[in-house]
Chains A and B, each alone.
Chain A
């Protein structure tokens, strides 16, 4: 989960990706540390006897919970054969084996999970447990430890693992051992089946269990896992044949090897230990013989109904596609790669199978992968093949339009977009491309190239992200008062920066790149630079005018693994080339420096996002005399899984509480930067009956955006610019942190307390507290904002002096 950058050298520091190494969680610079996203791991103990059961568990988890792929820690007796690791890894892409002391874990092997302290929540499965249905509750328990009545699963929260707790457990274990004698807790591979027991009946000889581990779930036990649980339908007990050789009852007769450990923990934790219904679990009474082969598991996973997890899909689908050449499996694997930003892998997957002409959907996915690595000509042909099928034509045409737009051919793009709408008039992306490329007369007279500066930026199409809409203009204000075409030549960063673009740039005074979080690979994937500016290193090197990188941010997500190699070379070329290289916060500066050789570190400077000094740079600005009695709330939903993990329901409930509390003092409204942000309003209404008025900022022009933000009393925002812009307009802010960039910004202005993680256990109360404090002494809050802005303004002014020299004078 943490993207720890290695200090070993340029290009080598490939971030770890989702599986955090031990101890990584403590790193305050890790994305996980900054956003507080709860890290969950599954765990099990395996010795030679228990291994078949652990493999059965892994298999069952994948097949009954195809959308779940948490980290999995296998604690093993150091005597386990090496081949065992291979068996485990065949069933999980990120399973980590950790040895316990040689000689065995002692009589209570389950307690080995107490040693896993680098996760917030550990779900430990007892011996012989398999998953028989959706895990639901097991994934969403955030704060309380819990266990099934009879051995099934145990949920431990890191907060409980204090030294004192460990001592008490150790003491209890010692005592239990002394009482029970040397044979206590000896592991047995599997329980022999006992005649006469039926599912659902209590085990006859279990000393402490009063109900089985797997009774039908009680009311409210199972909520849907995933980023947006909602009140899902009651889950009925899973089919009894979910895992062969298992039955839903707990065990019948005989002591379960983990029963003493469970009892011990219950003794120590007492009432603090919540009881789990455990309906999703079953006990494996006989190991399957022979166990399903990897090939069978792969095929079964690819057939499993329901949403699949991209990591599992890739893990099982890749060998399956390689072995069978199945075109549809390859398509799904490639799509998972694309969703994860692994475009080259997607290309390789599709290239490994033979696509019949009529396989429209696979052609479409292949085309998508190819265009993402800038192999446009080949992409085109595959996408065209997809247009033969009526159902796949519109998405393929929209991508074809996008290719033409990237290559600067708006007329062809328009034709493809119209073809997409012809195939499916309701197709949104085709309409978006049509609007983007519709021929428009030039709005204003362009200036002569010699008077102009080229500005490479992410120009928001109609109704894109409002925050990013303001950004290019704000950047230009740092250079002078004229932000129009007389002085500026706009180049969309996502369009291919080809020879023509190079020639045009070299005939102008300078080239400015920025602002925004441009260092991210998958907003506009291309094979040329691996970040948002679609420019090859060679072309970059041939720019002859000063290159100014202005207020750009490093924009990776918590959990988003960043393919560093290509980016590192492109980055280095950019830094070497730049006459000015300014990043928008010190967090970005550190991350970027870690990817550069030492002699380039000094080139990386601080240039705050100009939106944070809006009221300083905007000509004719006056602070409002009167403000509305409103508090604006913003939530963002792009990449929701990465933002919220399993905890969306919690977030929503806390926000509802905050809205009610704050609503007693001011009118709370939702400010939507993009239409997708409105999901917050709909979810709040549906789940909590709260109706929030909406400020549709996606429809506003820049003047209205800043005016709206200047006139409200407080903005509580998840999007970066929902914090930076109001701050820039002189309005107090609270940041809902789900992404490191806001934490970086707050660190730079020395106000970390203005940020609250969306995963905060008492998010609602905390937000209400902060909001009311601001409202109570609003003048002081505004004054503090003005004060904090001074540093950012000074830096901006100092840089501006240098920059105006670089471009040959102020651009007025």
Chain B
């Protein structure tokens, strides 16, 4: 796609780049008819590209094209139709989008939406310089505080970074790969592909010296690739969050009284708030909700599953995140954890207590595990708590009491084994308090 559109692309881009922005009304400026003609010409490619046959993108673009054709024939105002057509063409057919943008700008050179569409089209096509210029054109005509301005500023930043990256790579190559240097201008995707081919060819053949010279090139290539799926974090240290192994967690809680507060109506309807806060350590779970008189206010440990979205922003001493699949868990720890919201978190040794240190694989304990149970099991296993109380654990006899946003999360279907384990290990039960120690 990139190759074919390149030719068409620059057919339109050149007049704009040679000075005036958008060259409205100049000879050769785009019209709606041009857009429709291009649309017909690329029809064949579009049909085969629409592999899944459901024609979603094709549908929206086809509708927009039909609308444009109708209005064009009727001689009506075409700006909105052109913008819709251009928008629908992105990101798959940037040349169509560019034609539409230029057609808009030919009629109204001050059109913000036209500039924005042009910028997006040029970016999609890989013309970084052109896109930056067009985004600037948009910014000039846009309120500084608006969302569009913020997006444009961010896009300019990213495009400039991409330009710098390309220059850095060329500098590191230092003339070693003319076929890559030949793509110093033009679509970035072409440059990246040439770079990849170059490295793919050279690395297996390179001797020690060439390997050393290639290192900075490979580093830049790798950074860009990795950042596509894993953009850099603002703070990889998460404001100083320490990661504890299971032994260190044990050292942290040893000798301190602990209560686990269930997210249940039993707690909500009681008045144990002060009692709860009187424990050395208060543990709350997933999407817990605070009603001070009933639940207490303090949270020392937040234990949650890696898929739950709530309460990651609540400031606690320790946040334990449970997850069965290591890759997903690592992803959540990167994406969901908030810098400064916890002093400590658990490392992989605390990721799934029952199945990990407990050795109880899924075939021996098939039912999915609740965070509450994993925590109770873990604390019982570590066996360093002088008091260990479960508060309000009524095994889903009452309705859940948790943040409204979490109301869609289902309660477990089979918790009979968890219940049996808890009652088996309980030393004392008094009202809503089950004492494991």
Contacts and interface: CB of A to CB of B under 8 A. Distances in A.
State whether these chains interact: yes
Interface of A: 230, 233, 354-358, 375, 377-378, 380-382, 384-391, 393, 418, 421-426, 428, 431, 672, 675, 678, 682, 685-686, 691, 693-694, 696, 699
B215 A384 contact: yes
Nearest to B202: A357
A672 B248 CA distance: 12
In the A-B complex, the 7 residue pairs with the smallest Cβ-Cβ separation, listed nearest first, are A388-B222, A377-B212, A691-B383, A422-B236, A388-B225, A357-B200, A421-B236
Contacts of A678: 246-247
Interface in B227-260: 229-230, 232-233, 236-238, 243, 245-248, 250-251
Contacts of B361: 233
Nearest to A378: B211
Contacts of B229: 390
Given A384-B222, A387-B226, A425 B251 contact: no
Contact of A384 (B219, B248, B357, B381): B219
A562 B401 CA distance: 62
Interface in B308-348: 327, 330, 333-334, 337, 347-348
Given A388-B221, A390-B229, A675-B247, A377 B215 contact: yes
Given A387-B223, A389-B226, A682-B246, A233 B363 contact: yes
Contacts of B214: 381
Contacts of B211: 377-378, 381-382
Given A355-B203, A418-B236, A425 B226 contact: no
B245 A675 contact: yes
Contacts of B364: 233
Contacts of B327: 391
Q: Is the interface of A mostly helix, strand, loop or mixed?
A: helix
20 contacts: A354-B204, A355-B203, A375-B208, A377-B215, A378-B208, A380-B215, A381-B203, A381-B212, A381-B214, A381-B218, A385-B203, A386-B222, A387-B226, A388-B221, A389-B226, A393-B230, A421-B236, A422-B236, A425-B236, A428-B347
A425 B238 contact: yes
B203 A390 contact: no
B193 to A, nearest CB: 12
B226 A390 contact: yes
Interface string B359-395: 1010110000000000000000101100000000000
A620 to B, nearest CB: 30
Consensus secondary structure, chain B interface: helix
Contact of B203 (A357, A685, A693): A357
Contacts of A358: 200
B347 A388 contact: no
B300 interface: no
Nearest to A360: B222
A421 B357 contact: no
Contacts of B334: 424-426
A343 B192 CA distance: 34
Contact of A357 (B196, B348, B358, B383): B196
Nearest to A698: B247
B199 interface: yes
A675 B216 CA distance: 37
B323 to A, nearest CB: 11
Contacts of A426: 243, 330, 333-334, 347-348
A675 B349 CA distance: 11
Contact of B233 (A354, A380, A387, A425): A425
Contacts of B212: 377-378, 380-381
Contacts of B226: 387-390, 393, 423
Given A422-B233, A685-B381, A384 B218 contact: yes
A686 B230 contact: no
A378 B199 CA distance: 14
Given A380-B215, A426-B330, A696-B247, 19 more contacts: A233-B361, A375-B208, A377-B215, A378-B212, A381-B211, A381-B214, A384-B215, A387-B219, A388-B225, A390-B226, A422-B233, A424-B334, A425-B233, A425-B237, A425-B334, A428-B348, A682-B381, A694-B250, A696-B251
Contacts of A421: 236-237
A435 to B, nearest CB: 10
B330 A230 contact: no
B358 A686 contact: yes
Interface string B167-204: 00000000000000000000000000000100110011
A501 to B, nearest CB: 22
Most chain B C-beta atoms within 10 Å of own C-beta, residue among A358, A388, A694: A388
A422 B223 CA distance: 12
A428 B243 contact: yes
Contacts of B221: 388
Given A378-B212, A696-B251, A431 B218 contact: no
Contacts of B348: 426, 428
Contact of B215 (A381, A390, A393, A418): A381
A693 to B, nearest CB: 8
A364 to B, nearest CB: 12
A391 B232 CA distance: 14
A425 B212 CA distance: 29
Contact of A686 (B247, B357, B384): B357
Contacts of A382: 211
Nearest to B207: A378
A675 B244 CA distance: 11
A495 B218 CA distance: 26
B100 to A, nearest CB: 36
Nearest to A677: B247
Contact of B248 (A357, A422, A675, A693): A675
A640 to B, nearest CB: 16
A280 to B, nearest CB: 19
A382 to B, nearest CB: 8
Most buried by A among B223, B229, B233, B236: B236
Contacts of B196: 357
A570 to B, nearest CB: 23
B202 to A, nearest CB: 9
A354 B243 CA distance: 39
B232 A425 contact: no
B222 A387 contact: yes
Contacts of A423: 226, 230
Nearest to A686: B359
A672 B361 CA distance: 27
A33 B66 CA distance: 88
A424 B330 contact: yes
B208 A377 contact: yes
A682 B233 contact: no
B359 A356 contact: no
B259 to A, nearest CB: 21
Given A385-B218, A389-B226, A422 B232 contact: yes
A307 to B, nearest CB: 15
Nearest to A387: B222
Contacts of A431: 243
B80 to A, nearest CB: 41
B364 to A, nearest CB: 6
A388 B364 CA distance: 39
Nearest to B209: A377
A384 B212 CA distance: 11
A358 B201 CA distance: 12
A230 B200 contact: no
Contacts of A694: 247, 250-251
A696 B225 CA distance: 42
A685 to B, nearest CB: 6
Nearest to A386: B222
Contacts of A422: 232-233, 236
B239 to A, nearest CB: 11
Contacts of A693: 384
A553 B243 CA distance: 35
A634 to B, nearest CB: 14
Nearest to A424: B330
Contact of B357 (A375, A389, A393, A682): A682
